[in-house]
Structure 1
Amino acid sequence: MNYKNITVAGSGVLGSQIAYQTAFKGFNVSIYDINNDALARAKERIINLKIRYQKDLGATVEEVNAAYDRITFICDLSEAVAEADLVIEAIPEIVQIKTDFYKKLCEVAPDKTIFTTNSSTFLPSQFAEATGRPEKFLALHFANEIWKNNTAEIMKHSRTDMHVFDEVIEFAKAIGMVALPLYKEQPGYILNSLLVPFLEAAQMLLLNEIADVETIDKTWMIATGSPKGPFKTLDIVGVNTAYNIALGKAEAGVTEFDRLAEFLKSEYLDKGKLGRQTGEGFYSYQDVMKHKKLGVSLAMS
């Protein structure tokens, strides 16, 4: 495995985490997103990650700054992938957006470049043809708060070259992950095969007015000893991700998910309640956001 230059496409919550973790482990990283506004938000996220790495991992100021300095922020796709050994796609969970992205990517990426998707719900075979290099394409899926929840699920499809599969497993280990190989395609991999139905069950309880957010979370936490309930988990994942999953199932004709998608849109997305990242989702995090802004100011001073 001779990867040195990594491009992360998509600079949202998890995309930013993937990029920073990869840079923290010594790789050169290009973050690609569609415009400078998106990249500005990514820079703010990564500055906050510097603080988390110091707090959670005991990293030094020198280490977190060196990691940040290994990252470039680019909104031109051809420039972002010009030297890429590996691309990790972490763009929204919408089939057409991903398909269009891969069609553009295959036109500008070098022949050597391996493509991976961090998709939580789709199978790599759904996009293999669009990549133009199905043998060099597979899934590389991370959990949120990657520096602590350091799993990487590596899932091949039927046409993935086994040498490429093995290389990506080694790359996952090189960035500090516990590599979890999946030899057959499975919607939701291992983690989301367990997690998504759990989170959807909680959302349906809320949608159908069985109980409120706090009661549902409290039930789970007390009964199982879990440190957080499904809605606190959803706020970390991001309400927009939950919405995209619900919308996809609604469009596929799965009963009740059209109601869930509309509920999430009207009650949360349209009101700017996207989760912890925006200071409010199913819960309010205004105090947390004030602390983060103070931390950013201190980090930049």
Structure 2
Amino acid sequence: MNYKNITVAGSGVLGSQIAYQIAFKGFNVNVYDINDEVLGKAKDRISDLKQRYQEDLKATEEEVNSAFNRISFYSDLAKATAEADLVIEAIPEVVQIKTDFYKELGKVAPEKTIFASNSSTLLPSQFAEATGRPQKFLNLHFANEIWKNNTAEIMKHPGTDAKVFEDVIDFAKAIGMVALPLQKEQPGYILNSLLVPLLDAAQMLLLNEIADPETIDKTWMVATGAPMGPFAILDVVGITTAYNITLAKAEATGNPDYKKLADLLKSEYIDKGKLGRGTGEGFYKYPNPTFMNPDFIQA
């Protein structure tokens, strides 16, 4: 593995975290997104991570500033990838958006460049042909709050070159991750194969008016000892991401409950600006959500 220059495409919550973590570990990072306005927000989002790294990792001010200074920002994909050894895609979970992106990326990125998708639910084989270099393509999935929840699930497809697979595993370790190789394609990898059914079940309980988000979360936290319930997790993931995933399931399965859930997420949360922790409100209000109160799980 001889990666030095990394491009992260997509500067949302997780894309920003991926970029900063990689820079923190000494790599040069280019962040690509669709326009300068979005990139301006990304700079603020990434800058805010400095404090978290100082609090959670006891990083010094020099370390966090040096990491930020290793990041450059581009709205031109060709410029963003001109020297890239690896491109990590972290754009919305919409098949057509990703397909169009990979067709464009394949045209402008150097021949040497490896492509990796951070997709939470979609398989690399769905996009391998669109990349134009299927042997140099695989999935590399991170968890939110990457500096603490430092899992990296590496999932190849049948056409991924074995050396590419091993190199990306080595890269994951080099940026401070616990590398978790998957030998076969699996929707949701390992983590989301466990997590998504929990989040689905919680949202269906809400949709069917069985209980409110606080009661559902309280149940999970008391019964399992978990520090967060499913709706607190959804606030971290982001409700727009949850909506996109739910809408895709509605289209793929024809299950009307998924369509109803997508409509609920849109009308009651997204349309009201309640997008999750990043916007200050989702299922809970931040920075002091009720599930963090010491008496939340008391009798």
Q: TM-score, normalised by structure 2?
A: 0.95
- SS of the residue corresponding to residue 228 of structure 2 reads coil
Residue 286 of structure 1 deviates from its aligned partner by 5.2
2:297 corresponds in structure 1 to none
User: Cα deviations across residues 224-250 of structure 1 (Å, max 9, x unaligned)?
Assistant: 111111000100010011101100011
Give me the identity figure in percent.
76
Residue 287 of structure 1 deviates from its aligned partner by 5.7
1:79 corresponds in structure 2 to 79
Q: CA RMSD in A?
A: 0.9
Residue segments in structure 1 that go unaligned for 5+ positions in a row: 289-301
Amino acid at match of 1:118: N
- SS of the residue corresponding to residue 31 of structure 1 reads strand
The answer to whether 1:51 aligns with 2:59 is: no
2:266 corresponds in structure 1 to 265
Alpha-carbon distance in 1 for matches of 2:255, 2:59: 46
2:278 corresponds in structure 1 to 277
- SS of the residue corresponding to residue 88 of structure 1 reads strand
User: Cα deviations across residues 46-98 of structure 1 (Å, max 9, x unaligned)?
Assistant: 11100000000000000000000000011000000000000000000000000
User: Cα deviations across residues 14-40 of structure 1 (Å, max 9, x unaligned)?
Assistant: 000000000000000000000111111
User: Cα deviations across residues 161-211 of structure 1 (Å, max 9, x unaligned)?
Assistant: 000000000000000000000010000000000001100100000011000
2:143 corresponds in structure 1 to 143
2:161 corresponds in structure 1 to 161
Amino acid at match of 2:45: R
1:294 corresponds in structure 2 to none
Alpha-carbon distance in 1 for matches of 2:66, 2:81: 22
Amino acid at match of 1:183: Q
**What is the correspondence of 1:1-301 to structure 2 with a 5 Å cutoff?**
1-252=1-252, 253-285=254-286
Alpha-carbon distance in 2 for matches of 1:286, 1:153: 30
Alpha-carbon distance in 1 for matches of 2:43, 2:288: 21
Alpha-carbon distance in 1 for matches of 2:22, 2:6: 8
User: Cα deviations across residues 88-131 of structure 1 (Å, max 9, x unaligned)?
Assistant: 00000000000000000000000000000000000000000000
Amino acid at match of 1:37: E
Q: TM-score, normalised by structure 1?
A: 0.95
- SS of the residue corresponding to residue 29 of structure 1 reads strand
Alpha-carbon distance in 2 for matches of 1:282, 1:43: 26
- SS of the residue corresponding to residue 115 of structure 1 reads strand
Q: Which runs of 4+ in 1 moved over 2 A?
A: none
2:292 corresponds in structure 1 to none
User: Size of the alignment, in residue pairs?
Assistant: 288
Alpha-carbon distance in 1 for matches of 2:81, 2:255: 37
Alpha-carbon distance in 2 for matches of 1:44, 1:230: 28
